[in-house]
Amino acid sequence: MNGTTFRVSLMRGLELSVVPNGEIYVGPAGTPRIDYLWLASPPLRYAPHRYLGPAYDITADVAARIDRELFFVLNRADYDEVFANYERGAPAEEYFALLHRLKLGTLSITITDYAATRDNSWDWVSFTGEACAPK
């Protein structure tokens, strides 16, 4: 993409950011490296759905067709609790039980158009999306 970060305000003081490599973040406005999305949108390691554009050796055309139904925690306390479980290597069933117990926001993104370059990156991309959070 063109090397700039895309940002848009969401509810509850949160912000959606897409950084130049295409990685998608949701976190407190003005703090793009605190990401409430990655811990709540498994898989945590191989995660092409958390990128707008090719990642993990997936072509631009395949990346454009990925369903991006993502989840995010809503506040720093929940982030800290989930991160602590991740850091200590909590068993998967415990980790997912915690996510299930927390109120999570949802983010849906659909690629509407893009232009791929010869090196399999995206020159530009357009997309629509919707974010929701429980009361």
Position 73 in a domain: yes
- pLDDT at position 19: 86
Average pLDDT over the chain, rounded to whole?
Answer: 88
d(Cα 124, Cα 18) in Å, to the nearest integer?
12
Into how many domains does the chain fold?
A: 1
Residue 46 lies in a domain: yes
- Its sign, for the CA torsion 8, 13, 19, 22, is negative
Q: Which amino acid is at 105?
A: G
pTM over 0.85: yes
Instruction: Indicate whether 94 belongs to any domain.
Output: yes
pLDDT in tens, 73-132: 999 999 999 999 999 999 999 999 999 999 999 999 999 998 888 877 788 888 999 999
- Is 16 strand, coil or helix? strand
48 occurs within a structural domain: yes
Query: Is the residue at 21 inside a domain?
Result: yes
How far apart CA 23 and CA 37 sit, in angstroms, is: 11
In a domain, 120, yes or no: yes
Domain that holds residue 22: 6-132
For residue 1, is it within any domain? Answer: no
